[in-house]
Structure 1
Amino acid sequence: VLLGSDIFASGRDRVRYMRDFAEKRKVKDNQMSKVYAFEPAISEMGANADERYRVKMSDLHMVAGALLLQLIYMDKRIPGLAEGITSDIIVKFDPYEIEEKLGLPMGTIKKLSDDLWNSRGKSIILSESAANQGENSHFLHQLVHGLNSLLDNEGNTIETESIPDSHMLSGYDELRQLVNDMNADRVSAILIAGTNPVYSLPDDSGFADALKKVPLRISLDDRINETAELCEYVLPGLHGAESWGDYEPYTALYAIQQPTITPLWDNRQLEDSLIAFGFGLGNQDFSASEAPIKFYDYLKNYWERNIYRNSELAGDFQSFWVKALQHGFFESKDYKTEGFKAAELQIEPEAILDRVNGLSNETELILTASSLHIDGRSMNNAWLLETPDPVSRIAWDNYLAIAPSRAHEMGLKEGDVVTININGRSLKVPVHLAPGTHKDSAAIMVGWGRTSVGDVGNNVGVNAFKLAARSNSDLYFTLTGAEFSKTGDHIPLASVQGHNYIEHRPILFETTLAEYKRDPAAGQHEGHGKRQTLWKQDHRYPGHKWGMIVDLNSCIGCNACMTACQVENNIPVVGKNEMLNGREMHWIRVDRYYTGDEENPETVHQPMLCHHCDDAPCETVCPVLATVHNDEGLNLQVYNRCVGTRYCSNNCPYKVRRFNYYDYYESAYKEKPLHMLLNPDVTVRTKGVMEKCTFCIQRIRDARHKAKSKGQPIGPDDVKTACQQTCPAGAISFGDLNHKESIVSQKSHEQRAFKALVELNIGPNVSYLTLVRNTDVKKDKHEDEEH
C-alpha cells in the first residue's frame, strides 16, 4: 500500500526494489501481488498500481487514520486496542466520512482493511518519499509505523537490523547548526564533497552567505558547481568509473567498486586527497614510509583487517581479495538479522489519532524527485536529459503538473507559463496537463535549473528547490497555500508521445486476475486466425531465429532500456528543438498509455522497437535494398546503400525507424575525449541514413565468436541485448525462437503471449505478455479522448 510513496524515483535501494517488485508482479500459479496507491499525482510506482486513488499529500494521514480505526474499532481485529478510542476520534476518522470527503469509492477503506488483515505478515504500507515531508507528514509516518506493527509486518516484510550505521546520515538540524557555526566564525576550514547545498537549499537558509565567512573553503568535486563557485580551492576528483571504493548496502554484505578505466586527467580521487590531508596533519594511519598511503592500499588493508579476519575464512587473504574482485562483493554467511517484532512495540492508537490534524482545504504544491536526475546530479548528462520522464514522456524540461480540469478552468494549455506564488516566493514554469492529478494539487520536479553544471545542463528548466519551506528541524517539500497565475507566455514541451490512449486498437491488451484465472488468453481479441501469405509455406530459418518477448506485468516504465540502447548503439542526442520536430533518435521507446477517465486513469507501459518482421513492410518499399533480411530472421539496415528516401519509415506500422537529418558525429563526438563515448563495435551513422534496432547484432556476433572458440554452438540464452541486460525489472527476454528450451521460445507459447498489430500479416518477432491487474475494479475505457 503506497501512501504518497514512490521508492522507484529515489533512494539507495531503488534498483533492488524495482527487481523485487517486478518479481512479485509475475503471474505464478494464478497468484500475484496487489498494489494500492493513494497519491496526488501519478508517480512512477503509482503508475504500476492495481488500484490507484487521488488523495492530496496533505490528506494522506487521514486515509491512514481511517484505516487504523477500521482495523481496531470497526472490525475489532486486535482485542483490547479499541478501548481507548473516543467518540471524537470516531467522528474524525469515520471511514465512510473520510471516503466521502476525499472522493473515494464507498467501501475502499473496508476492502483495503480486509486485504491487509488477510495478508498480515506478508504486506507492507509505505509512506517513504522525499515529497512526503510537510506539516502533516509526521502524523502520517507515525500512523504507518503503527499499522505495519499491528499487521505483523515489522520483523517480516520490514526489518531494520541489516541497515548499517553508515546509512544514518545527518539531517537538516545538523546543517542548520553548521550555518550558525559559520556565521559565528566557529568554522575556520570546510571541505565539501558530494553535495551541493548552495543549489539544493532555499535562499533563506542562509548557507551561501554563511559559507563566504569561512576563511578556508575547499571543494572536492569532479566539476565546478554552484557551491564550488564560492570556494577558494577546487580539487578536481575522479569520476566513479575511474575510482576505487567499497560500500555496505546491508550489514555483512560488502560491495567493492573497481575502476573500469584509468583516469583521463591528472586528477586525484577524493579519498586520496583526504588521506593526503590527514598525512599532512601528522596522522600516521595514513602513512606509507615517508609518503601518504595510496587509497587502493588503504582499502585493501581495511578489507584484510576488518572483513577478512572477522569472517574467519580458510585460505590466505590474497586469494580472498582476488575472489572478492572477481565477484564484486563478499557476503558474510555467519551474520543473521534479527528484526524486531511487533509485540515488542507499545502501540497506543488513541494517542496518535487524538493529535492528528484534520483535512486540508488549501491547494498544495509538491516538490518531487525525478528518477533520472534526483537532486540534479546528472543534469549535464545529455543521454539522461534526452530520456523522457516515465510518466509524462517529456524531456529537456521540468514543468508544473496540474489536473486537466483545473487547467481548463484557468484557460491553460500544454506549455503555457504560470507563476507559482507560495510563502512569499515565486517561480515561473510551463504547465503540463497531467491526467490522474488531484484538482487541488500540483507537482514540480526538483533537480532542474542548474546554473553551474556544464555546457549541456546549464539553465535547463527551473530550480524548484528554492520553493522548499524550512521548519525547525526539517525541510518541507509538500507546501500548502499555493497560488497559480497565468502569465501569457508559452514554452513548448518536448513530448515523445503524441497519442495517450489506445482507443481499443490491438496494440496491447490487459485483463484482471479473475478473468485470467478463467481464461489465460483473456483480454486479447480473436485476431484473424493463421497468418495469410502468398507463398505455399512460410520461409524457414534452419539455424537460429532471434526474437524477443516483453512481460507487461514486469515492465515498470523506467526507461532504463532506452538509455542503455542509446549508449550501446552510438545513438546521437538531438536536443529539445529536434525532439519538438519529432526527430528523436531512440531505437526503443517505452510508450505510456492511459485507460479510463482522464481525471483518474489507469496506466500501462509498452516498450516498442523494431519487430524484425518476417514479411517486413519496410523491405518491400526500399528502392535500393538498403533494408533486407538475413538468414537468422533479422531485419538489417545496410547504411552505405541507404539514400534516405524514408519510404521504409513511412511504411513501418510501429514507427520505430529513425532518420539522421544531420551529421551528429561532427558536433557531438569529434572533440576529444568525447570520442571515447562511442562503442567501437557499432558503426557511426552519418547524415541522410536511416537506422533502427538491430537486436544488438554486435552482441550476437560476439557470442558466436566465443562459442566457436569453445567448439560449441551458441546457447539458447547466451545473447543478452543491451535493453535486456539493463532492465532492472527483468521484463525483457531475448533468445533463439527455434530452440525449444530458450526462455523466449517458452514464453512466446504461453496463452498470455500476443503480438502487436498481428492482423497486418507482417509476422513480427517481438511478443508481449498481456498485462494482468489484480483488481476487481473494472474501469470504463476512454473512447473520445484527444490525441
Structure 2
Amino acid sequence: MDLSAIRSRIASSEGRLYWRSLGELSDSPQFREYLHREFPEQASEWNDPKGRREFLKLMSASLALAGVGACTRQPQEQIVPYVRQPEDIVPGRPLFYASSVIHAGYAQPVLVESHMGRPTKIEGNPDHPASLGAADSFMQGEILNLYDPDRARTVTNRGEVRTWGQFLTVAQQTLAAQKTQGGAGVRFLTGPITSPSLAEQMSSILAENPQARWHQFDATGTQGFTGAANSRPVYHFDKADIVVSLDADFISSGPGSVRYQRDFAARRRFIDDRKEMNRLYAIESTPTLTGAKADHRLTVKASEVESIARELAAAIGGGAAPAPGASVPRPGAPDVAKWVGAIAKDLQAHRGRSLIVAGEYQPAAVHAVARAMNEALGNAGVTVTYAADVEANPTDRHASVAELTAAMDAGQVQMLIILGGNPVFAAPADINFAEKMGKVGLIAYYSLYVDETAHLAHWNLPASHALESWGDARSFDGTVTLMQPLIAPMYEGRSAHEMLALFTAQADRRGAAIVKDYWSRAYTAGGQWTIKYPDGSTFPNAEAFWRRALHDGFIPGTAVTEGGPATPFGTAPAATPAAPAAPGATPAAAGAAAAPVATPAPAPQAPASHGGLELIFRPDPTIWDGSYANNGWLQELPKPLSKLTWDTSAWISPRLAEERGLHNGDVIEMKYRGRTAKMPVWVMAGHPHQSVTVFFGYGRKMAGRVGNAVEQAQAFNPYLLRTSDAPWFGDGLEISKTGERYLLATTQEHHMMEERVPIRVATLDEYTKDPAVIAHQAHAFPKTLTMYPDYVYDGYKWGMAIDLTSCTGCGACTIACVAENNIPVVGKEQVSKGREMHWIRVDHYFAGDLDHPESYHQPVPCMQCENAPCEVVCPVAATTHSAEGLNDMTYNRCVGTRYCSNNCPYKVRRFNFLLYADWYTTTLEPLRNPDVTVRSRGVMEKCTYCVQRINHARIDAKKEERQIRDGEIVTACQATCPAEAIVFGDLNDPNSRINKVKAQQRNYGVLEDLNTRPRTTYLAAIRNPNPELEPARPAGQTEHH
C-alpha cells in the first residue's frame, strides 16, 4: 500500500473525498477485483472440509448452553413487575421488570423483558435519569452472560468440589484466629462499590476487625478525581452550546456515557424550524467516538493535553499558567496557538453556556484546570455540577492494589478475600500480583467465572449474575438503583451481599432481606437519605415504599445533584443488630485508606522524558477490560472506528506507518520500560504521529470457550506493558517490525457500495444559506417515472428515518438487533470471509486527509424499498411486499439461491451458510426471543423492522378497537439508541413524528438514482465548524465520494 500515492489522490480530488478504508483509497488491482466480486472472497463458497464441527468450537454462550438446569425457576422472594399485569402470566406475552446491572461498579438501570420466567432482552429504564430508556452494548450483553455455560458453577477448593458450608467453616476459623490482632492479617480486595447496603456490610466487618484493610482495584479506574468533597463532575450537555473535550470520550466511556450521549445529541439535533446546534472541540490523544462527532479535532500526545489546557485557561482568564513546552510546535500538527485563540473567543462568547470536560484518563492536574475554567466561565452549577463522590471508598485503585501486593510480599496477609476483578490478569505488570499471591495463607476468590485469578486462588466461590440477585447501587449521578432477580440462580452462586454476610454474625442472611432491611430503615428513620418522589407520593409504611421502589427500579431524590448524600460508607440509618453498622465511622477509621483531600492543580513541570514513542492504554471498546471476553455478541461487534472483531491491535498513525514500513496486520515487538509484548498493527487515520495506542482486555488464557476461541490472539496482551505508576500513558516506547503477519478480521471493507454516494454532509452555514445543498449532492430518480404501479396502502405504511447528525456510531443498535432477533455468532473465521450475520451494520466513513480526517457513521438496516430489487428476482416468492410496505421474508420458502442478495444494492441481506443456530440443544431456548423464528442453514434473512413488535401492537389496538398510536411501536434499534437517532412510524399518519422528520429538507434516500424508493431514509449530517478554524468552502463546491 503506497501511502504517498494515497495522499496525492486525496490532495488532487475536487471537494472532500469520502472513504472507508486505506485499501479503498489505494485503488489497487486487488481492491478493484474485490469490488468486482461484490462480496468478500469465500463469502459465497464453503471450502472448509472441517465444516460444522470446527465452527462449533468457536461458539459458547450463543450456541452451547448445555448444563443450564431448571432455568425457569422463579425466585422465592416477591418481585414487582414494571407495569401492571394480570395476576397470572399470559402465555406469549412478556413481563417487564425494572432492575440494574453493574458496570465498573456503577449501576446501569435496565428494563428486562421476561418470557415465562426467562429473561430474554435488556433495554434501558425509560424513567431512570441515568439512561432515559437507552442502553449501551455492555448493558445489553449481560443477558448473554447470564446464560453463559462457562460460568462458575460450584464452590471448589484447590480444584475439588466443596460446599458453601465447608468454606464458611474454614473462613470463620481463620477470621477467629485473626481476632486477637484485630484482624490485622485480613484483606479484602474489591472493585469500586457504590452500593449503600454493601458499603454498610463492609463497614460492619471492618468495625469488628479494625486492623483489617479494604483495598480496591479496577483496571479501568480513573486517576483524575480526588474523592474529596464536591470533586466529581456531573455534566449537563443539554445546556451547553460550546463543548471542549480535553481527551475525554464522554460519548462512549465512563459510567454516565449513556445519559451524556442522550443530552449531547439533544442539544446537537438540528431541525429546520430551529437552525441552531452545539459545537464540539475535541483535543485528544487517540481517535474516539467523541472526536468523531467533533466539529474540530486536534490530535496531540496524551502528555501534551495538560499544557494545552493551561494555555487555554490562561487565554480565557482561568488562572492557570502555561506549562513548559506548551507552545512548542509539533511537526504536522495544526497551529496550536490559533486553535487556543479561537476556542477561547468562542468560550468567552458563550459564558454560562459552555462546558470544558477533562478526560477521565488524564491526571488530576488536567481536571483541576478544567474546573478552574468552568468556574471562570460561569459554567459551574449550570452546565456542570461538582458533587460528592458516590463511591463508598474513592481511592487510587492502582496504588491500592500495589499497597496490597507489598503487604502480601511482606507476609502481612493471612487471609485475602477477592470479589471479582481478575487481578491476576489485569493488575499492573510491575507489582507481580500473581507471584505474591503464593505468600498468602488463604485466598478466596468470588467471581462469575473460573478465570486466571481462580486458577491461583485456594477457594473459588461462584457469584450469581445481576439478573439472579438482589442488590442496590448508585448510578453516575448518585441515584440509588435497585436490583431484583428475574430468575433463581442457575448454579450455586450467591450475591455479593450474601458473600459478605459470611463474615458477619448472620452468615446465612439472604440478599433480599439485607437490601430490603437497609432501605426500610432508610425510609423509616430518614437520616442521611431524603427520599422525595416528583409526584409527591407518600406511603403508609416501609413495605408500600419498597414495592414502589421495586416497581420503578430506583429511588428518587437520591442523586447527589439533587441534594442526595455523599459517600454512605459507614453511615447507614439506625442500624439494627440484624445488620450492624458503624454510624459516623469514616473510611479511615473503618480500615480503608482515607480519601485524599482536594488540592490545587500542581505547578506545571516539564515532564521527565524517557525518549521514544508515547504509549497510550485504553480499555477495549467491546470487551472492556477483558471481563466480556467470553461474550460472543460483543466479540463479534465491530469496534466503532476500526471495525475489527475478535482481536485487538496497536493503533499507529499513517505517518508512523510510512516511516517504519508497517501495514495492517504486521506484528511488531513493543519494548516499554523494560517489558516486552507483541501486537498486530492497525493504521488508524487521525492518530497522533509519535504515539501508539493499545487496548487492553485481550490476551486471556482462561476466558472460556468464546474468549479462547482465537488461540493466536492470546499472545497479544497489553497488560504485560502496563505499570501502576503510568496506567494510562507514558513515553519510552520502542517498536520494531518482526516480519510476522496476523490476520485481523475487520468489517470495514465489507458490504461497500462501489462508487455510490451513501452519505451526505453539509455545514450549518451551508445548509442555512441553501437547504437544497443536500439534494444537490446526488442525483434523484423522478418518483413519477416508473415501470411499476404504485402500491396502495389502505392501512398502515411503515417507515424509518436515521439522523446522521445525532448518530454517534456506538453500535448499541447492532447488539439490540442481535438480542431481539436471535441473530447468531459466527466466529472470526466466518467474519473474515464476510459472513457476519448482523441485520444492521454501522458503516464508518472518513473525509479529508489521512492525518486529520473527519469521521461519520451511518447505520444501514434493510431499506424496505418500495421498488425492491430483491423481490423481483426471487424464484420462489420467499421475499415479498406486504400490505403495509415491508419486504417480508418467508423462511420456509427460501431455497438459498441468493439472487436477492446479489440484486440488493445496499448489501443488507445475510445468508446462513451453516446451521449457525443449534436446534437440538433444548437448553438454548431460554436465551431466544420466542416471537422470532430461528433460521436454518441455507436461508436468507434481514432486518424486518421488528415485525413481531408491529404485530403485538396491532393485536393490542384491535382488542381495544382503535388505531395504533404514533410512537406505540418502537423497534429494538430505536429503543436502545442513546442518541435517539432513529425514528419509526406510520407514513400514512400525517401527524406522525416520522412524517415530520421526513419532511425536513435534509432527508434523503441512499441510492435514490436507482429508483428503489427506500422506506428507510436519512437526515444528512450537519456540522457546525468555527469559521476561524475552517474557512467556508467556495460556493457551488460539491461533495465527492
Matched, 1:558 2:810: yes
What residue in structure 2 maps to residue 575 of structure 1?
827
Match of 2:416 among 190, 205, 208: 190
Matches within 5 A, 1:440-519: 440-458=690-708, 459=711, 460=713, 462-471=716-725, 475-498=726-749, 505-519=756-770
What residue in structure 2 maps to residue 342 of structure 1?
none
Match of 2:642 among 392, 409, 413: 392
Match of 1:30 among 275, 278, 287: 275
What residue in structure 2 maps to residue 686 of structure 1?
936
Does the CA-based 8 Å contact 1:501-1:782 persist in structure 2? no
1:441/1:203 Cα in 2 relative to 1: closer, same or farther (>3 Å)? Answer: closer
Amino acid at match of 2:1000: E
Q: TM-score, normalised by structure 2?
A: 0.68
1:105/1:540 Cα in 2 relative to 1: closer, same or farther (>3 Å)? Answer: farther
Q: Following the alignment from structure 1 to structure 2, what is the Cα–Cα distance between the partners of residues 761 and 385?
A: 37
Matched, 1:404 2:654: yes
Q: Which runs of 5+ in 1 are unaligned?
A: 73-77, 340-344
Does the CA-based 8 Å contact 1:6-1:128 persist in structure 2? yes
Deviation of 1:242 after TM superposition, in Å, equals 1.2
What residue in structure 2 maps to residue 302 of structure 1?
518
Secondary structure at the counterpart of residue 289 of structure 2: coil
Does the CA-based 8 Å contact 2:840-2:861 persist in structure 1? yes
Does the CA-based 8 Å contact 2:252-2:258 persist in structure 1? no
Matches within 5 A, 1:178-217: 178-217=404-443
What residue in structure 2 maps to residue 69 of structure 1?
314
Match of 1:5 among 248, 259, 265: 248
Q: Following the alignment from structure 1 to structure 2, what is the Cα–Cα distance between the partners of residues 49 and 229?
A: 45
Q: Following the alignment from structure 1 to structure 2, what is the Cα–Cα distance between the partners of residues 148 and 358?
A: 29
Match of 1:324 among 545, 549, 559: 549
Cα displacement string for residues 522-554 of structure 1 (whole angstroms, at most 9, x for unaligned residues): 333263363144458521211011111111111
Deviation of 1:476 after TM superposition, in Å, equals 2.6
Q: Following the alignment from structure 2 to structure 1, what is the Cα–Cα distance between the partners of residues 872 and 974?
A: 30
Q: Following the alignment from structure 1 to structure 2, what is the Cα–Cα distance between the partners of residues 228 and 208?
A: 11
Deviation of 1:98 after TM superposition, in Å, equals 4.8
Q: Following the alignment from structure 2 to structure 1, what is the Cα–Cα distance between the partners of residues 555 and 1003?
A: 39
Does the CA-based 8 Å contact 2:464-2:493 persist in structure 1? yes
Deviation of 1:106 after TM superposition, in Å, equals 6.2
Deviation of 1:455 after TM superposition, in Å, equals 0.9
Cα displacement string for residues 194-246 of structure 1 (whole angstroms, at most 9, x for unaligned residues): 21111112333121122222111111111111111111111111111211211
What residue in structure 2 maps to residue 315 of structure 1?
540
Amino acid at match of 1:697: V
1:500/1:428 Cα in 2 relative to 1: closer, same or farther (>3 Å)? Answer: farther
Matches within 5 A, 1:631-710: 631-666=883-918, 670-671=920-921, 673-710=923-960
Secondary structure at the counterpart of residue 166 of structure 1: coil
Does the CA-based 8 Å contact 1:162-1:251 persist in structure 2? no
Cα displacement string for residues 550-605 of structure 1 (whole angstroms, at most 9, x for unaligned residues): 11111110001111111111111111111111111111000000011122110000
Q: Following the alignment from structure 2 to structure 1, what is the Cα–Cα distance between the partners of residues 969 and 685?
A: 39
Q: Following the alignment from structure 1 to structure 2, what is the Cα–Cα distance between the partners of residues 620 and 549?
A: 25
Amino acid at match of 1:621: V
Cα displacement string for residues 637-662 of structure 1 (whole angstroms, at most 9, x for unaligned residues): 11111111111111101000011110
Does the CA-based 8 Å contact 2:351-2:379 persist in structure 1? yes
Q: TM-score, normalised by structure 1?
A: 0.89
Shifted more, 144-153 versus 375-384: the winner is 144-153
Matches within 5 A, 1:305-454: 305-307=521-523, 309-310=525-526, 311=530, 313-332=538-557, 337=562, 352-353=603-604, 355-357=605-607, 362-454=612-704
Secondary structure at the counterpart of residue 958 of structure 2: helix
What residue in structure 1 maps to residue 354 of structure 2?
123
Q: CA RMSD in A?
A: 2.9
Q: Following the alignment from structure 2 to structure 1, what is the Cα–Cα distance between the partners of residues 309 and 924?
A: 51
Amino acid at match of 1:54: T
Does the CA-based 8 Å contact 1:596-1:782 persist in structure 2? no
Matched, 1:746 2:972: no
Does the CA-based 8 Å contact 2:385-2:561 persist in structure 1? no
Secondary structure at the counterpart of residue 544 of structure 1: coil
Amino acid at match of 1:659: F
Amino acid at match of 1:488: G
**Which one has more relative contact order, counting CA pairs under 8 Å at least 6 apart?**
2
Amino acid at match of 1:674: L
Q: Following the alignment from structure 1 to structure 2, what is the Cα–Cα distance between the partners of residues 605 and 557?
A: 5
Amino acid at match of 2:453: T
Q: Following the alignment from structure 2 to structure 1, what is the Cα–Cα distance between the partners of residues 263 and 990?
A: 28
Does the CA-based 8 Å contact 1:503-1:782 persist in structure 2? no
Report % sequence identity: 38
1:741/1:707 Cα in 2 relative to 1: closer, same or farther (>3 Å)? Answer: same
Secondary structure at the counterpart of residue 603 of structure 2: helix
Q: Following the alignment from structure 2 to structure 1, what is the Cα–Cα distance between the partners of residues 617 and 560?
A: 39
Deviation of 1:249 after TM superposition, in Å, equals 2.1
Matched, 1:243 2:440: no
Amino acid at match of 1:58: S
Secondary structure at the counterpart of residue 437 of structure 1: coil
Does the CA-based 8 Å contact 2:387-2:560 persist in structure 1? no
Deviation of 1:90 after TM superposition, in Å, equals 9.6
Q: Following the alignment from structure 1 to structure 2, what is the Cα–Cα distance between the partners of residues 90 and 197?
A: 36
Cα displacement string for residues 344-403 of structure 1 (whole angstroms, at most 9, x for unaligned residues): x99989x734x3549997411111122322211111000000001001011111001111
Matched, 1:161 2:387: yes
Amino acid at match of 1:7: F
What residue in structure 1 maps to residue 485 of structure 2?
259
Q: Following the alignment from structure 2 to structure 1, what is the Cα–Cα distance between the partners of residues 924 and 561?
A: 47
Cα displacement string for residues 221-274 of structure 1 (whole angstroms, at most 9, x for unaligned residues): 111111111111111111112112112226763211122222222332232222
Q: Following the alignment from structure 1 to structure 2, what is the Cα–Cα distance between the partners of residues 467 and 457?
A: 21
1:537/1:251 Cα in 2 relative to 1: closer, same or farther (>3 Å)? Answer: closer
What residue in structure 2 maps to residue 75 of structure 1?
none
What residue in structure 1 maps to residue 509 of structure 2?
293
Q: Following the alignment from structure 2 to structure 1, what is the Cα–Cα distance between the partners of residues 443 and 264?
A: 44
Matched, 1:720 2:963: no
Match of 2:296 among 43, 51, 68: 51
Between the two proteins, the alignment pairs up a number of residues equal to: 744
Cα displacement string for residues 18-61 of structure 1 (whole angstroms, at most 9, x for unaligned residues): 11121121125222111111123311211111111111111112
Match of 1:108 among 326, 336, 339: 339
Secondary structure at the counterpart of residue 936 of structure 2: coil
Cα displacement string for residues 490-518 of structure 1 (whole angstroms, at most 9, x for unaligned residues): 11111112179999843121111112222
Q: Following the alignment from structure 1 to structure 2, what is the Cα–Cα distance between the partners of residues 261 and 346?
A: 44
Does the CA-based 8 Å contact 2:781-2:1008 persist in structure 1? no
1:99/1:64 Cα in 2 relative to 1: closer, same or farther (>3 Å)? Answer: farther
Match of 1:769 among 995, 1019, 1026: 1019
Cα displacement string for residues 416-472 of structure 1 (whole angstroms, at most 9, x for unaligned residues): 11111111111111111110011211111111111112111025452211211332x
Q: Following the alignment from structure 1 to structure 2, what is the Cα–Cα distance between the partners of residues 672 and 212?
A: 43
Amino acid at match of 1:301: D
